Amino acid sequence: MRAATTYGRPVAVAAVLAVALTACADAGPETVAAAPSELRLAIGGEPEDGFDPTLGWGRYGSPLFQSTLLTRDANLDVVPDLATGWSISDDGLVWTVDLRTDARFSDGEPVTASDVAYTFTTASESGGLTDVTALREAVVVDDDTVELRLERPQSTFVNRLIGLGIVPEHAHGPDYARNPVGSGPFELVQWDQGQQLIVERNDDYYGAAPAFERIVFQFTGEDASIAAASAGQLDMAAVPAQLAGTQVPGMRLVPVQSVDNRGITFPYVPDTGETTDDGAPIGNDVTSDLAVRQAINLAVDRQALVDGVLEGHGSPATGPVDGLPWHEPESAIEDADPEAAEELLEEAGWTDSDGDGVREKDGVRASFALLYPASDSLRQDLALSVADMVAPIGVDITPQGESWDAIYARMHSDAVLFGWGSLDPTEMYNLYSSSQAGVESWNPGFYANPDVDAELEAAMTATDPDEANRHWRAAQYDGEDTGFGPSGDAAWAWLVNLDHTYFVDECLDIGEPRIEPHGHGWPITAGIAGWQWSC
């Protein structure tokens, strides 16, 4: 299936055949055609802010051009990368990292502890998407040892060592995001914004040499990617689940498990006329009722959403961290139960007194809007399906496609179909801690439960990973009736976890894909240095 290329451009088929026939005439019986040294991928859009890790580049996959101190293997275990070892003080405030001494940046300069300290300090001050706010100071102990000293213990700080690519202090200037220098497996060669990114193998990389000399990332839409893949012009193409049934000659479908989820956040407090500092309204008199939130969680048939909307490429979502070590399975509502949902509403005083099919309580109709980004067909389909599923229990949901600006202005007073998913439990803290209510798009419903807050804080400040996980799980459900999950406060109705689906050349071996986070960035590239041709 692989198309022959010259300088990244497809060669006419006739010319390829002519060259191949000539070569075969002169070749001996044991001659084997060389595998292409170039890889062409269409796996998502380009990063708006470029390729600077201190601003957030690489947090959803691999920084590609930069090394990270630690990384995760295929089993999600934390293993060294640029670091040779690390330790944490008993009070959790000092992380000491030892560095390998053979790493060099792509400009030939060695990677030192000063570069690591500079990277973490800059990221903590930049206000970028990589949250390093817990850092008090980064101190160079010697050329290959650095101490990262925190303001407070943070069990999730290990994820900063995994996700933050190291930049060179001597070459980190205003143009760095467009012209990155790093010690990762690849170097940036050319970036045609809006069209393509060309990278080449970094032959000074300290790790195993990637099999490909050159990789071209194409920034195309879904339909264009399918067309290019069908024409033999791509070796990998990311496609939404709705297009995963397309037949592409010479390519196989590779579904990759993810924690990339979709769920509905509910305004948790009543409408009292309160607004944010920006004037956005807060509260909703329907979704602030626990019975309504729990009833919706009971009425939604998540498996039907997977089968119908995702074409089977996904799984029912029972919470924001399904399948990860900090997930509490007992918090879930596994099967749809509309009858139990109706009983719950009746007991709470929501009745259909006028027979119009929509329940009322104290003069308030069980009716509310569900917002989703108008450009997202998947979320539209999920919103429409959920509305159909809850209508029989007497709850009227009106899906509304809006711009993100409109959604952000209304997300504290209307339900919103959001997408999240991270391998870092910090996201769970941000979604449910009352301290994050109304902060950017965290905790948009203003959810607050002091018992849950206590568990989240204990998890965040724990110095032992197992202890942290116990508190993360208790925040979801404590085994009785407390927790943010559907068996407790039901602050969200989580719907589905997506499989990330890729068409991959039949001869391209990408190994065992790792479970992927939310789809921003290029999470599939986490293992790209190990990809190779198999035929």
CATH classification of the domain holding 101: 3.90.76.10
- C-beta separation of 200 from 186 below 8 A: yes
The answer to whether residue 516 is domain-embedded is yes
Phi (first) and psi of residue 533, to 5 degrees: -80, 140
- CATH code of the domain covering residue 519: 3.40.190.10
> Looking at residues 505-511, what average pLDDT do you find?
96
The parent domain of residue 394 ranges over: 261-498
**How many structural domains does the chain have?**
3
Q: What is the CA radius of gyration of the chain?
A: 25
Alpha helix locations (H) across 187-242?
222-230
Residues 491 and 506 in one domain: no
pLDDT tens digits for 236-261?
999 988 888 889 999 999 999 999 99
pLDDT of residue 191: 96
Catalogue the E-assigned strands of 74-134.
78-80, 83-88, 94-99
Q: Is residue 43 part of a domain?
A: yes
Say whether both 44 and 79 belong to one domain.
no
pLDDT-derived band at 362 (thresholds 50, 70, 90) equals very high
Q: Is residue 348 a part of any domain in this protein?
A: yes
Residue 14 predicted with pLDDT over 60? no
How far is Cα 97 from Cα 84, in angstroms, rounded to an integer?
8
pLDDT digits (tens, 9 = 90+) for 293-351: 999 999 999 999 999 999 999 999 999 999 999 999 999 988 999 999 999 999 999 99
Q: What percent of the chain is predicted at pLDDT more than 90? A: 81
Residues 97, 125 within the same domain: yes
d(Cα 408, Cα 429) in Å, to the nearest integer? 20
**pTM, to two decimals:** 0.87
Residue 14 lies in a domain: no
CA angle 142, 147, 148 (to 5 degrees): 150
Residue located via tokens 């275990």: 77
Do 241 and 160 belong to one domain? Answer: no
Position 7 confidence tier, pLDDT thresholds 50, 70, 90: very low
Q: Which amino acid is at 166?
A: I
Q: Which two tokens stand for residue 482?
A: 């407390």
Is 436 inside a domain boundary?
yes
- Name the token pair of 361: 């309580």
- Residue 17: pLDDT over 60: no
> In terms of domains, do 196 and 314 share one?
no
Task: Give the tokens for residue 86.
Answer: 């690390």
195 lies in the same domain as 336 = no
Nearest one of 122, 111, 128, 153 to 59, comparing CA atoms: 128
Stronger pLDDT, 12 or 136, i.e. the higher one: 136
User: In degrees, to the nearest 5, what angle opens at C-alpha 455 toward C-alphas 430 and 261?
Assistant: 40
Place of tokens 């934390």: 78
Residues 277 and 416 in one domain: yes
Contact 1, 507 (CB under 8 A): yes
What are the backbone angles phi and psi of residue 400, rounded to the nearest 5°? -135, 120
Mean pLDDT within 184-208? 95
Does 123 fall in a domain? yes
Mean pLDDT of 73-98: 94
419 in the same domain as 330: yes
Q: Give the model confidence (pLDDT) of 365-416 as tens digits.
A: 999 999 999 999 999 999 999 999 999 999 999 999 999 999 999 999 999 9
Report the percent of the chain where pLDDT is more than 70.
Answer: 93
Residues 504 and 367 reside in one and the same domain:
no
Mean pLDDT of all residues in 444-455: 98
pLDDT value for 34:
61
